[in-house]
Amino acid sequence: MTGYTIKKALPSELILSRSRIPLFLIIMTVIGIIFISLSVLTKYKMINPPETFFNLFLGMGIIFIAGSIIFMINKIPGSITFNKNSSMIIFSENNQEYSIPFAGFTSLLIAGKISHSKNSTSVSYQLNIVSHSGSAVLLCESADRSDLQKTAETIITYIDIDLLAGGKLLHKGSAAYPADQPVYPPQNIMSIKTDSAGDKYVYQWNCSKSIAAIFLLGAVIFGFNFVFFKCAFPAMGRYNAGVYAVSVILFLIDIFFISTLLFYLFGINIAEISDTGFSYRQKIFGFSINSKTFSRDEITMINAGFTSDDNKITIFTKRGMDIFNEMKIFAEINNLNDTPAVMTLLSKIMELRKNIIEIDGTPLYYYEKLYLENEWSDKLKLKNVTRSVY
């Protein structure tokens, strides 16, 4: 099970902590360490493979270690605490604590998730806690729905709200909680710059996930080039077609990685709210990309999430929300292992893409995403907005 697991269950509070690092990342790191160790042994003549193997071991070690660490860097809460005494969900992140009242949430929802590869379709399940505005916090994910149900049943002993799974109401929440205000970290510690002029509000933040991620990405680029030019290239004849084929492939890889690296360093995200509506774009070197705009009348919900594939801010139009709900119902009442049935969703997925704006959440802490969700919902006058306290 990925996401969060139960760390401690006390009479007054339940503490969820982040799950262990995925096994495949641990394997990647171990492989990288082995390659680096072999390069050191080769350098000091403790083993005697062909001379070019030192470069191969060193380059592959850099690629595996740097690549695995990049995937481990996540700006998400380290723990989530359900506190009965304060009727608050307390998030701990970046040495900060912030809280949202129990009254801000309506249900725990177990829903199916479909993942596609070229030759197969896999199914897993997600446990979300859903707010009054319809925004969902992804708590954990598992291929076994019963695991999630056990976790949910434990959670509802602390926050007594509805529990739904497979289109069925498994538990009817009966507790009434005080409508307290959420408490977030001070705005001055956030990386988001805000500006306003009249009825126009502008929010801006960098695309970089972290300085460490930038250097690690650079290390991956260096590793690929080091392996090719120090190992493969010298071993190939100048008239070998493979030299040119690999060179072209490596050139394309370099372009992709360098573009990503430059985007991390110099790219910015810009969101604007005006009388006409909401617009979002990314900007680098004066050029705008990934630009999309919705009118005020179109927008019905803003969802800020984290964990796994949900680390983003999503703006839904009314039609987009309808499609999203239809797909959730489909996932709950149909066999998601039935490929023909799943294929019928493709047209819905394409239409959904046109009716949402997805903003990458990895450069932001979760409290920053919550801040933007609240700010934008407030400015757009969406229903069920929970105002923040700073």
Would you say residue 386 lies in a domain?
no
Residue 350's contacts (CB-CB under 8 Å, 6 or more residues apart) are: none
Q: What is the pLDDT of residue 390?
A: 36
Q: Is pLDDT above 90 for 58?
A: yes
Q: Is pLDDT above 50 for 98?
A: yes
- Per-residue pLDDT tens over the stretch 148-164: 999 999 999 999 999 99
Look at residues 233, 266, 299 and tell me which one is the last residue of a structural domain. 266
Token pair recorded at residue 259: 């573009």
Q: How far is CA 356 from the centre of its chain?
A: 16
Q: Specify which of 294-303, 335-344, 376-385 reaches the highest per-range mean pLDDT.
A: 294-303
Examine the domain organization and report whether 215 and 187 are in the same domain: no
- Per-residue pLDDT tens over the stretch 72-92: 877 778 899 999 999 999 999
Look at residues 238, 266, 294 and tell me which one is the last residue of a structural domain. 266
Examine the domain organization and report whether 115 and 196 are in the same domain: yes
Examine the domain organization and report whether 217 and 199 are in the same domain: no
- The span from the CA of 153 to the CA of 167, in Å, is 17
Token pair recorded at residue 371: 């801040």
The Cα diameter of the chain in Å comes to: 77
Examine the domain organization and report whether 6 and 58 are in the same domain: yes
390: nearest Cα among 75, 272, 378: 378
Locate tokens 């705005």: which residue? Answer: 187
111 pLDDT band, cuts 50/70/90, is confident
Examine the domain organization and report whether 175 and 34 are in the same domain: no
Would you say residue 22 lies in a domain?
yes
Examine the domain organization and report whether 291 and 172 are in the same domain: yes
Would you say residue 322 lies in a domain?
yes
Number of domains in the chain: 2
Would you say residue 118 lies in a domain?
yes
Q: What is the pLDDT of residue 125?
A: 85
Other Cβ atoms within 10 Å of 18 Cβ, number:
18
Examine the domain organization and report whether 218 and 331 are in the same domain: no
Q: What is the pLDDT of residue 89?
A: 94
Would you say residue 374 lies in a domain?
yes
- Per-residue pLDDT tens over the stretch 193-232: 999 888 899 999 998 767 787 788 889 888 888 887 887 6
Examine the domain organization and report whether 298 and 246 are in the same domain: no
Would you say residue 177 lies in a domain?
yes
- pTM, two decimals, is 0.74
Examine the domain organization and report whether 260 and 278 are in the same domain: no
Q: Specify which of 181-185, 197-201, 258-262, 271-275 reaches the highest per-range mean pLDDT.
A: 271-275
- The span from the CA of 208 to the CA of 217, in Å, is 11
Examine the domain organization and report whether 168 and 273 are in the same domain: yes
Look at residues 266, 287, 310 and tell me which one is the last residue of a structural domain. 266
31-40, 77-86, 241-250, range with the lowest pLDDT: 241-250
Examine the domain organization and report whether 149 and 15 are in the same domain: no
Q: Give, in order, the Cα–Cα distances in Å from 290 to each of 51, 70, 193, 280, 287.
A: 47, 24, 20, 8, 10
- The span from the CA of 303 to the CA of 310, in Å, is 10
Other Cβ atoms within 10 Å of 211 Cβ, number:
10
Examine the domain organization and report whether 254 and 278 are in the same domain: no
- Per-residue pLDDT tens over the stretch 161-177: 999 987 789 999 988 89
Q: Is pLDDT above 80 for 38?
A: yes
272: nearest Cα among 382, 207, 194, 209: 194
The predicted model gives 123-142 an average pLDDT of 81
Would you say residue 390 lies in a domain?
no
- Per-residue pLDDT tens over the stretch 285-330: 888 888 999 999 899 888 887 655 567 888 999 999 888 878 777 7
Would you say residue 142 lies in a domain?
yes
Parent domain of 292: 79-207+267-379
